[in-house]
Amino acid sequence: MSCIQTIQDYGLRSIGVGERLLPRNDFTLCEQFTLIGSGMIWNIYFGIMALATGFFLATAVAMGKASTNKWLRKPSEWFIFIFRGSPLFIQFFFAYFFFLSLKKSYPMFDALTSAWLGALIVLFLNTAAYSGEIFYGALRSIPKGDIEAADAYGMSGWSRFRRIVWPTMLRLAWPAYTNEAIFLFHATTLVFFSAFPAWQQRGDALYYASYFADKTFNPFIPYPILAFYFILLTLVIVGVFGLVNKRLNRHLPAARKAKIRFRLNLAR
């Protein structure tokens, strides 16, 4: 079977399109590359969806934590603490069993135990907590002068937030947020690995990598392939976030831009 044929058969296998049976024997490198790459669809889906939705909750949580109102601050603080303070792996497990018992009593929660929704919710809450903390840190380091200037222009409330506070917060938080995005994509490999089951052998990149490791009894090929894909993905993320960063900082002189880039060192 030629490699192009393999790609046609298995390129979209992870979402159920193409050949139903996975390759059973005589595994070729092409098959491994194709299927593991196909699994990346799920990693990208989880990563992008969680980032896109988590971003808004993160902003809200950051504002809440910075708020002077106790009723806003305390829940935000606890939310961040719980999701940042415990391993994602355990969160997945716990969430899965929790969703299962929910489903038992209320059938309307049916979809929660499947990975596409249940795991996404966990990832969404998780990234919201991490980014919330990053945004909160950025909020606190907004130069006092900026806010005072906004006040002097007579801005307040929503317009001050939208035109001054929020853009500055993003600008300050962006390098750390880039890191968070990278880690979030890495974390998506845990979905099928923890508790959420894979249906009809549709799984993410790690699922297929371990499938091959299992069948060929040789872990030294599939996992490096997986690593290769993730390095590519990381490069893409760094590139895209770099472009946004450029846009966020377009008003700054060149020397200060360089300084901001440096903070990319904070690990999650």
Q: State yes or no: residue 45 binds other proteins (CB under 8 A).
A: no
Nearest distance from residue 220's CB to other proteins, in Å?
6
Measure the CA–CA gap between 179 and 164, rounded to whole angstroms.
Answer: 24
Q: Among 73, 160, 215, 257, which residue sits at the site for other proteins (rule: CB under 8 A)?
A: 215
* 263's tokens: 């903070």
Number of residues that bind other proteins (CB under 8 A): 57
CB 76, CB 58: distance < 8 Å: no
**Cα three-residue angle 178-238-221, rounded to 5 degrees:** 110
- Going by the DSSP 8-state scheme, the letter that residue 113 receives in this structure is G
Residue with smaller CB distance to other proteins, 4 or 232: 232
Measure the CA–CA gap between 98 and 117, rounded to whole angstroms.
Answer: 14
Nearest distance from residue 197's CB to other proteins, in Å?
5
Nearest distance from residue 266's CB to other proteins, in Å?
5
- What is the x/- site pattern for other proteins, positions 174-213, by CB under 8 A? --------x---xx-xx--x-x-xxxxx----x--xx--x
Q: State yes or no: residue 86 binds other proteins (CB under 8 A).
A: yes
Measure the CA–CA gap between 11 and 41, rounded to whole angstroms.
Answer: 10
Q: State yes or no: residue 28 binds other proteins (CB under 8 A).
A: no
Q: What are phi and psi of 12, to 5 degrees?
A: -115, 20
Measure the CA–CA gap between 185 and 199, rounded to whole angstroms.
Answer: 21
Residue with smaller CB distance to other proteins, 148 or 214: 214
Neighbour count for residue 15 (Cβ, 10 Å): 14
Residue with smaller CB distance to other proteins, 53 or 234: 234
Measure the CA–CA gap between 10 and 264, rounded to whole angstroms.
Answer: 37
Q: Among 3, 111, 231, 243, which residue sits at the site for other proteins (rule: CB under 8 A)?
A: 231
Nearest distance from residue 181's CB to other proteins, in Å?
13
CB 100, CB 92: distance < 8 Å: no
Residue numbers of the site for other proteins (CB under 8 A)? 21-22, 24-25, 81-82, 84-91, 93-94, 97-98, 100-101, 103-104, 113, 182, 186-187, 189-190, 193, 195, 197-201, 206, 209-210, 213-215, 217-220, 223, 226-227, 230-231, 234-235, 262, 265-268
